[in-house]
Chains A and B, each alone.
Chain A
């Protein structure tokens, strides 16, 4: 009796311990996409012409994005934004100086950078945030558990969380794009749904030539052409996230 109970406990103990470690070993797999950043296939990128953008144009870009993606307008610190206008000094902290006369007051657009090495993808515990082979960092709203680790990891503040039910704040809905539920994170998707139809992202269309878009791996794309001609900077390059959004100065 005694020895059989001891045996049972031995086996139960070891198997329970094994169970707590094993799931990772059984199905270990990454979700980083890969190819897009390595010079093969398509890698979508954006070049924002900071000189051409004005307040009105930026407002139109934000409206175009937020209206088609059912992004609610919430007037609180628990708000949601996929693309927004922010001053240079906030987007490029440490890269501005006080003798740079006009620039600090000027605003430009901020959005998800669809990083080549996205920290949000690295930290997500369920692969709800993942990188597609074409470099787009996507969200699976149905898999997200709402832990908000990706928000802590994003060094650009590009992610929003649905603290409340977002549908309450939508006056009009675009039936072609899903609305979200409370408790999930959301973000800009580079209009992946439009790219699949051969269209360009909504903000690029609304910007009337002030935003260039294309394949970073194609030397003939408009994005590569303009990056060749103009001086460009990226947000927080020192962090090694390899952003795909370029700012033309």
Chain B
């Protein structure tokens, strides 16, 4: 089926060329980082994780969201998702690939990466994160490819793939749960030391992932003249609506717990993010933008008429995606490190080189996504014809 990726329009090749150029720039920036060390980043002794790990955390959510289609399709036999499920699974493949790349670019000694396998350490959550991420990547490539192949031959998927599909459901939950566990088991980091971190991660994942998928469906529809189907998009829109409401509700639970208990170790991080602390307030406009975008999206999505209008739905999905990205890709990591355990404030702002590396990784992810989508849509059109 891969041959479908090497036949395309000028727009397709132009887009791939653009992505390759961005990958090249990002790779150049990464070469500088390899040479100079992570000193080229805005990270510091106090904020030892930055933009790379934040993007990784956010994208794990995008990857996990495929489960929101696998469950209705395979546990409830909801056939409308049959048309778009492959797009969700291939989005998961691209997102997990970006996650793994972000972990690699974040390492101080990337050439020692395999020490994690050579000296397996089950008491480290990072070890389990590696296991679940790679496992999920493998599961989605396998399931996506096998079901697409069956569809091309217009036969039902082989029965041996079923256990893998069922396994992929708890596995999707596990990737985001384990990623949350990276943070929420640490003493002295009050911002993350909360049992609701994993549910929060999942809620924002099930909002941002399907929201992004809806946008991708529209893009696919415009550029390939293949329609993923109104019903599937409408069902995804409902999932986004419930999930973004749940996400904001969970944020409210956090705010109540830290606000009412008034324990400084937990409260100061929220104060820093939403109001600024001792004159440091870099993230304040961002965090409020996140909350307002989330609330605005809820206001729009709650009305079924808005969901049915393509333009309005797309706009609401952009808001949801933005809200979750700021929350996880920006605030979650920086807010956890500021103030530091000595209650000192060192702010974190990513550098240009850091942003270029980040952009390069995103371009690599979109490159993978484009090729996989080209194959998937090619097969779908072939079957439709």
Stretch at the interface among A97-105, A123-131, A222-230: A123-131
Segment with Cβ contacts to A, from B73-81, B88-96, B107-115, B241-249: B107-115
CB distance from A126 to the nearest CB of B (A): 4
Question: For chain A residues 131-158, which have a beta carbon within 8 Å of chain B?
Answer: 143-149, 151-157
Distance to closest chain B CB from A11 (angstroms): 11
Residue of B38, B44, B189, B336 ringed by the most chain A CB atoms within 10 A: B38
Query: Shortest beta-carbon distance, B52 to chain A, in Å?
Result: 11
Question: Residue B37 contacts which of A77, A164, A241 (CB distance < 8 angstroms)?
Answer: A164
Partner of B120, one of A28, A79, A157: A28
Considering only CB atoms and an 8 Å cut-off, how many residues of chain B contact the other chain? Answer: 59
Do residues B37 and A21 form an inter-chain contact, with CB atoms below 8 A?
no
Nearest neighbor of B44 in chain A, beta-carbon distance: A77
A156 adjacent to B188 (CB under 8 Å):
yes
Q: Judge if B262 is at the interface, Cβ distance under 8 Å.
A: no
Question: In the bound complex, what is the Cα–Cα distance between A149 and B106 (angstroms)?
Answer: 11
A6 to B124, alpha carbons, bound, how many Å?
A: 37
Measured CA separation A182–B43 after assembly (Å): 14
Complex Cα gap A21–B133 (Å): 11
A160 in contact with B45 (CB, 8 Å): yes
Stretch from B23-31, B134-142, B280-288, B373-381 that touches the partner = B134-142
Most buried by A among B41, B103, B160: B160
Neighbour of B109 across the interface among A127, A155, A183, A240, CB < 8 A: A183
In contact, A157 and B46 (Cβ under 8 angstroms): yes
Q: Which residues of B have CB within 8 Å of A94?
A: 264-265
Interface pick from A36-44, A51-59, A85-93: A85-93
Contact with A along B148-160 (1 / 0, CB 8 A): 0000000000101
Told that A146-B109, A148-B108, A184-B108 touch, could you supply 11 new A-B pairs with CB distance under 8 A?
A: A16-B138, A20-B134, A31-B121, A126-B118, A126-B119, A145-B116, A149-B124, A149-B182, A153-B186, A161-B48, A183-B108
Residues of chain A at the chain B interface (Cβ within 8 Å) = 6, 9-10, 13, 16-17, 20-21, 23-24, 26-28, 30-32, 76-81, 86, 89-91, 93-94, 110, 119, 122-128, 143-149, 151-157, 160-165, 181-185, 236, 239-241
17 pairs from A and B in contact (CB 8 Å cutoff):
A6-B158, A9-B160, A13-B164, A21-B131, A30-B123, A89-B343, A90-B343, A94-B265, A119-B187, A148-B108, A152-B337, A154-B341, A157-B342, A161-B48, A182-B36, A183-B108, A239-B188
